[in-house]
Amino acid sequence: MFAGDGYAGASVFSKRETTRLGTGAGLALAAGAAKEVYDRYAGGDASMRDLTWDAVGAATGTMLSWLVDRYLF
């Protein structure tokens, strides 16, 4: 969700694919990392496994956004 939102938001400001990809991935990774930091300090269960899946989700969401942009628009 965050990756697609970041990609779409960046497309308003830039036509460069690298900018849109970086923004989408960066937003998704930042959200995942922020949640893990919150878990660490709020008594939750922060783990590298969750962070790894956050990265996989960010990559998947960013690539799906790129594919939709490239082949449907």
**What's the pLDDT tens digit per position in 14-37?**
999 999 999 999 999 999 999 999
Percent of the chain topping pLDDT 70 = 100
* pTM higher than the cut 0.85: yes
CB neighbours of 70 closer than 8 A, spacing ≥ 6? none
Q: What is the mean pLDDT of residues 41-55?
A: 92
Neighbours of 12 (CB within 10 A): 7
As a whole number of angstroms, the distance between CA 19 and CA 42 comes to 34
Res 46: pLDDT: 85
Res 65: pLDDT: 96
Res 45: pLDDT: 87
Instruction: Show the tokens assigned to 9.
Output: 């938001």
Please check the confidence at residue 73 and state whether its pLDDT lies above 90: no
